[in-house]
Amino acid sequence: MISVELRKAPDVDLIEREKRAEILEEMEISLSDLAATEMQVEVGKMLAVGYIIFGEIVDMDREVLISLRMINVESGKVVWSEKLVEKLSNYDYITGYFTGAILQYLGLQVAKTTVEKIEVRQEKSEEVVIALSKAIDHYDKKETELAKAKRIDPKSETADFYLPN
């Protein structure tokens, strides 16, 4: 959701998920002994990006602790970090908060719609963000029930028929 907001900034170029995944797959074997952060920095260098943003979410029952950090790919150092404890139902506020902080750090303009998300804390259904997270996870893994069926039965003609080439 944050990357969707970051796309609104004209001076921000985001690397597509498919491109990152492709590079990670290529590096997986050769860099399997590197820590996740080090590996991501190497991927960042290969993609010729300036920064990589990492994050963690910790479920704290009624709230979530979200922490993000930005690493300068050239130096490998953390140049920005921020934490927030908030109800998951305030996902628009969370998205706006982090997007605004990232863009401010970079000295870039924050879109009006992003600012509005920060100014107006509107609780929404947590089901939306959970459904989006699951869908994006499946998308990243190229995981569909059809793909799962194909893995279980590689000779399934039905799965072949419905799976895109």
Q: What is the mean pLDDT of residues 133-162?
A: 79
| Residue-level pLDDT at 43 | 66
Per-domain boundaries in the chain:
2-123, 125-165
121: number of CA atoms within 13 Å, CB side?
Answer: 7
pLDDT-derived band of residue 29, with 50, 70 and 90 as boundaries? very low
Confirm or reject CATH 3.30.1360 for domain 2-123, answering yes or no: no
| Residue-level pLDDT at 157 | 85
pTM of the model: 0.74
pLDDT tens per residue, range 71-124: 988 888 999 999 999 999 999 999 999 999 999 999 999 999 999 999 988 899
Any residues with CB less than 8 A from the CB of 66 and at least 6 apart, and which? 55, 56, 57, 58, 83, 84, 85, 86, 94, 98
Q: Are strands 51-60 and 78-86 parallel, antiparallel or unpaired?
A: unpaired
Q: What is the mean pLDDT of residues 18-28?
A: 62
